[in-house]
Structure 1
Amino acid sequence: MRRLAPLLALCLAAGGAASETPAPAPFPIALGGPFTLTDQSGAPRTEAAPGADLQLVFFGYANCRSICAVALPTMAAAADTLAAGGIDARPVMITVDPDHDTVATIGPPLARFHPAFEGLTGSAADLKPVYDLFAVEHEVLFTDPSGQPVYAHGSHIYLLDGDGAFLTLLPPILGLDRIAEIAKGYVRR
């Protein structure tokens, strides 16, 4: 037993260390960068969210009934969960449908998910460099019976810090607790 005591002590010490969240590894490809778009109030909005610890950014469209219906509520719930822990995480959607998601129309659908949800839009020319920065692909698949386009687009949530630096990608299927846990790991205080 005496010979096992040092090994047992080492295992117990290692087990305690594992409960601390390690510093996240850098993402293997460069994503993100400076941009300026227009928010739902008509004000310019850059990649930075002054005062925020984190940003949960999604590329979609306000009237999407597919993956956006999973990602946007998850982002809203994650923002609330993080806020309960003292972390200001802003939910942001950047449109892939600038013809329909205008300053006048993008805000109300997003407000149904969370009052702090920010919708960013602009012209196709304004948005193209942002799509390139984040490696976003999208295309119109078809037009629904009401005449609205239905897009194929990504499903990942981009986690940015408050200054707009890209941190990691979060699949919305991870679930709220795991998304919040990962996001917390990027906040250094």
Structure 2
Amino acid sequence: MPSRRTALLAAAILAIAAALGAYVLIATGSGRNSPAASATGIAAIGGPFTLTGTDGRTVTEADLRGKPTVIFFGFTFCPDVCPTTLAELSGLIEALGDTADRLNFVFVSVDWERDRPATMASYLSAFDPRIRGLTGTQTEIAQVAKAYRVFYERVPTDNGGYTIDHTASVFLMDAEGRFTGTLAYGEDPAVMLQKLRRLAGA
């Protein structure tokens, strides 16, 4: 009959094996809702969308292929996160120099009601001109937000208007539209610059 110490050791080994198995499932995204991730090991972020550029022309995910993309979701009435992030991106673009031309920089509005193409164009004029603005209908924005796993929610304000809570991360996609990582809100600029250089292959 095995000793108590032997039994405890066996139980511990089994627990560790189970934990490692669960970690592998989570790390590879091999849940029922992530078939693409389970097949490739890449997070299922990104996908087809149809939006409108600041010039009024239709833009799809195919228009971004061929170059890696840096994409951020927000809205022009955003009081702090959006202008801060777009200003940081503008500074990073300047720091990248010519390397920035190897990347797409995209700002997608989640405010279908107020952010028309002309509104987006006026707002983005305060930032680096290489940041491309996209907007769309309520349905189109819902589609792209779902594809990128972006959270957004309209929140009523005391004056009868609304603001929008939304994901603050910047998504990094490779030239084929596959997710490679993020720039976190408030992250060290030096780390963000290193990530963008790596994304650009510099």
Pairwise same-fold verdict (TM > 0.5): yes
Contact 2:172 2:181 in 1 (8 A): yes
Q: Radius of gyration: which is bigger? A: 2
Maintained 8 Å contact 1:74/1:172 = no
Cα deviation, residue 111, structure 1 = 1.7
- Number of residue pairs aligned between Structure 1 and Structure 2: 163
3-state SS, counterpart of residue 131 of structure 1: helix
Separation in 2, partners of 1:77, 1:88: 16
CA contact (8 A) 1:79 1:90 kept: no
Residue 17 of structure 1 is matched in structure 2 by none
Structure 2 match to 1:186: 199
**What SS is found at the alignment partner of 2:78?**
coil
Of the structure 1 ranges 156-165 and 78-87, higher mean CA displacement relative to structure 2 is found in: 78-87
The gaps in structure 2 that reach 5 residues or longer are 1-39
Q: Deviations over 1:95-146 (max 9, x none)?
A: 110110111211111120111221111111111111111111111222364x
1:149 to 154, 159, 162: 162
Q: Which structure carries more helix by proportion?
A: 2
2:172 counterpart residue number: 159
Equivalent in 105, 109, 121 of residue 95 of structure 1: 109
Corresponding position of 2:89: 75
Q: Which has the higher contact order (CA 8 A, sep 6+)?
A: 1
Structure 1 residue 176: deviation in Å? 2.4
Residues 28-67 of structure 1: matches in 2 within 5 Å?
29-49=43-63, 53-67=67-81
Q: Distance in 2 between matches of 1:141 and 1:86?
A: 35
Structure 2 CA distance, aligned partners of 1:159 and 1:42?
Answer: 25
Give the whole-Å Cα distance in 2 for the aligned partners of 1:58 and 1:50.
14
Structure 1 residue 137 corresponds to structure 2 residue 137: no
- Contact kept? 2:171, 2:183, Cα under 8 Å: yes
The offset of 1:31, in angstroms, is 0.4
TM-score (norm 2): 0.71
C-alpha distance in structure 2 between counterparts of 1:81 and 1:53, whole Å: 19
Q: 1:49 to 1:180 in 2, by over 3 A?
A: farther
Cα separation, 1, equivalents of 2:90 and 2:66: 15
2:43–2:179 contact (8 Å) kept in structure 1? no
Deviation at 1:27, TM superposition (A): 7.3
- 1:127 matched to 2:141? The reply is yes
Q: Distance in 1 between matches of 2:41 and 2:89?
A: 20
What is the alpha-carbon distance in structure 1 between the residues aligned to residue 74 and residue 172 of structure 2?
15
TM-score, normalising length from structure 1?
A: 0.75
- Specify whether residues 64 and 51 from structure 1 end up closer, same or farther in structure 2 by C-alpha distance, changes over 3 A only: same
Q: 1:84 to 1:139 in 2, by over 3 A?
A: same
Give, in whole Å, the separation in 2 of the partners of 1:86 and 1:119. Answer: 17
**What percent of counterpart residues are identical?**
27
